[in-house]
Amino acid sequence: MAGRGVEAPAAAVSTDFTHALKDSALAGLIAFGLFLPLIGFHAVQDIRNELVLETRWPLLFAFVILAMAGRLFGSLVVTPWRERRAARPRAVAAARPGATLARLFAPAATGFVIVYPLLVLWLAGLGGAVKWVDNFGIQILIYVMLGFGLNIVVGLAGLLDLGYVAFYAVGAYSYALLSQTFGLSFFMLLPLAGILAAFWGIMLGFPVLRLRGDYLAIVTLAFGEIMRLVLINWVPVTNGYAGISGVPRPTFFGIPFNATDEGFAAVFGLEFSPIYRTIFLYYIILALALLTAFVTIRLRRLPVGRAWEALREDEIACRSLGINTTSTKLTAFSIGAGFGGFAGAFFAARQGFISPESFTFMESATILAIVVLGGMGSQLGVAIAAIAMIGGTEALRELDVLKEVFGNGFDPTQYRMLVFGFAMVLIMVVRPRGLISTRQASVHLAERKAIAGTLVKEGRG
Amino acid sequence: MSEALLRVEHLTMRFGGLVAVNALSFAANRGDITALIGPNGAGKTTVFNCITGFYKPSEGRIALGHGGAAVWDELDALTRRDARSLVRPDGALFLLERMPDHLVARRARVARTFQNIRLFPGMTVLENLLVAQHNTLMRASGFTALGIFGLGHYGRAERAAIEKARHWLALTGLVARADDPAGELPYGAQRRLEIARALCTDPMLLCLDEPAAGLNPRESAELNELILTIRAEHKVSVLLIEHDMSVVMSISDHIIVLDYGVKIADGAPSAVRNDPKVIAAYLGVEDEEVAKVEAEVGL
């Protein structure tokens, strides 16, 4: 009895291994079939400009062997590990030691982003810090802010908006045109750009009030495209494809950031460096992003925020409780659009140049991806997702080490979409409701409990 | 004889060629529990949807009065004036067929529940009850403009709203589950929560669409108690659609029976119970009687 008991698992292991081998051979065969036309053959132009077919057998077999090894690893290591994990009883969720850590994470992260430019300045010096503050600081924070803004519309109110970039464009062009025409300052025009974008949010909101889900998504997508086409074709005002250059930069309470005697560096007795403007811009966008986060957190605890979430959960029930769904949706659209407008005005002021190129559907898709990836409705999740998406893109630019591996012709930035597509699929498989999927209740009677993401409705309009 | 709260007159609802409700007239008195019963497809929920503003009736008038009986004298004048409502110090009169659904709930104070429960499943029980007090809280937060800066008396208003929610939770036995998501409650508790949520809107008329559906006999009995308590303590009139005769017969003051969109009986439970037309509608009749019954009903 005991002998058979030992033998049986051994037999099982050996059949498992043969099965895994067969499986891996099949994967190799499929990989061979798939990669033969894609990688095995390579068309190059010779000196006489004629196409010559070359074969790349070593590379092809490298891919096939990689696929086989991956499959073997999957069936021998990953699958048994997952089965063991599934068999293990689940730990009680309440007794997680990470709870305190999670509560402290947001304040700690806020503290870090406040000291970040100074830290970089200290570590990288005056010259090297610009790239770190600009590419990894300002760029990410713009998307954090856009993510927070779209989160109100998609995450809280559940209205799927694929044309959010239109409001970003409204803000940017409002600032660029009004500052050039009337010479008003950045801080005067910032609220105005937000108000104009919010107004366009209402303009979009009215016709789409009766639409839901996919239909709403299509119309908002069209709205984004209309806005871009107007910017391209209304040449007398927007200068078309050529865009608007020489957009005035924000000044430090009237002191410009330039190399003249009235410039910031001269006034404060510092050596001139572009870093001062970059750090100033960093703190502006940080303040705007924190303002957006603060306002959203406050709104969630106010009746209007609860009405947004109720609207996402069940619109008919909302109407039966006397909630005016029209005005509730319009407030969500306009407040979300207003934050997009702020971000747009900042973008124009930072770049000094804007053109319709910056406001393509790709931008809307990126912002929506940040919201979905972060976990709809979660502020912290959106911030983390923006860092991962935008910071990750920037980080890929820095990865020159990959050139050592793949040869000098390799450009890592060309593969960033591939990497991100892969990362998105992976995260959606592992965490289908986004990085932070639990919902925090806005009010509590006895104890505050997190609500599992599976109960919360997704934004379907 | 108490005065009327709701008067439905010649209500007709057509969906294309289908006449779901045909020239239905009835009245529900203040403080009464009025039941609307009938076989499946009789048009009961359509009547509810017309009363609560979710459907615009094809024809007919639905009037609801608050306060004294004197306002009812103005009904015809109000109808001719093309206005939605009349508000006087001694009472108010509303023409529900002219009002959008959210105003029926907010101004005419008609609350409803749904046949297939419609809670906000991802929000906690308490949040569900605060959403129901949206309009009161919205005013207290200065329509968000004051609340966002923490100005005004929003904090006080929210505490009052939570106290009101606690009151209804206590009555429906849900205080212990207040911080749990509504979607995690068992079925019977979700039914009670939906009633509690409707009550948080301070209704004059509470419309319950099959509140006992899917409840076991003990839960049904508790539901009876709950509805009677609501009526007794809070002066809320109840309009009820129900299939469960143990609920209908034991608590209703007045029953209206619908069949194929037509009213076939209207009266006290004891009278309706023995009405041959009602028995025919529910149990069917011998073939030779069909013609006679149809002639009486007017088909």
Q: Scanning every residue of chain A, which has its alpha carbon at the shortest distance from the alpha carbon of B196?
A: A321
Q: Which residues of B touch A322 (CB under 8 A)?
A: 102-103, 105-106, 134-135, 201
Query: Is A339 among the domain residues?
Result: yes
- Domain harbouring A160, CATH code: 1.10.3470
Query: Is A420 among the domain residues?
Result: no
Contacts 24+ apart (CB under 8 A), A70-73: A70/A27, A71/A20, A71/A23, A71/A24, A71/A27, A71/A28, A72/A20, A72/A21, A72/A23, A72/A24
Interface test with B, best of A330, A442, A445 (most B CBs within 10 A): A445
Query: How far is A377 from A449, CA to CA, in rounded Å?
Result: 16
ipTM over 0.90: no
pLDDT tens by residue, A316-343: 999 999 999 889 999 999 999 999 999 9
A112 and A178 in one domain? Answer: yes
Q: Band of the pLDDT at A184, cuts 50, 70, 90?
A: confident
Q: Is B67 left (phi over 0), alpha (psi -120 to 50) or beta?
A: left
pLDDT tens by residue, A77-93: 888 888 888 777 655 44
A179 and A30 in one domain? Answer: no
Query: Is A411 among the domain residues?
Result: no
pLDDT greater at residue B70 or residue A141: A141
Q: What angle do CA A224, A228, A233 make, to 5 degrees?
A: 145
Query: How far is B71 from B58, CA to CA, in rounded Å?
Result: 26
Q: Band of the pLDDT at A6, cuts 50, 70, 90?
A: very low
Mean pLDDT for the stretch of residues A223-231: 92
Choose among B213, B132, B118: nearest CA to B169.
B132
Q: Does A131 touch chain B (CB under 8 A)?
A: no
Choose among B283, B277, B278: nearest CA to B296.
B277
Q: Which amino acid is at B230?
A: I
A244 and A364 in one domain? Answer: yes
Interface test with A, best of B51, B54, B101 (most A CBs within 10 A): B101
A267 and A306 in one domain? Answer: yes
For chain A, percent of residues with pLDDT exceeding 90: 28
The class of domain B1-109+252-299 in CATH terms is alpha beta
Q: Band of the pLDDT at A420, cuts 50, 70, 90?
A: confident
- The residue range of the domain holding A35 is 11-85
From A85, A117, A145, the end of a domain falls on A85
Q: Give the number of other Cβ atoms within 10 Å of residue A460's Cβ.
A: 13
Q: Which residues of A touch B126 (CB under 8 A)?
A: 441, 443-445
A350 and A207 in one domain? Answer: yes
Query: Is A461 among the domain residues?
Result: no
pLDDT greater at residue A444 or residue A144: A144
pLDDT digits (tens), chain B, 299 positions = 468 889 898 999 998 888 888 888 998 888 889 999 888 888 889 998 999 989 999 988 898 888 777 778 888 888 888 878 888 787 888 888 888 888 888 888 899 999 889 999 989 999 999 999 998 888 877 777 777 777 768 888 888 899 999 999 998 888 888 888 998 899 989 999 999 999 999 899 999 998 888 888 888 888 899 999 988 888 889 999 988 777 888 888 899 988 888 888 888 888 888 888 888 887 776 666 666 666 766 65
Q: Which residues of A touch B201 (CB under 8 A)?
A: 321-322
Domain total in chain A: 2
Domain ranges of chain B: 1-109+252-299
pLDDT of residue A405: 66
A340 and A195 in one domain? Answer: yes
Query: Is A383 among the domain residues?
Result: yes
Q: Does A310 touch chain B (CB under 8 A)?
A: yes
Q: Do B147 and A298 touch (CB under 8 A)?
A: yes
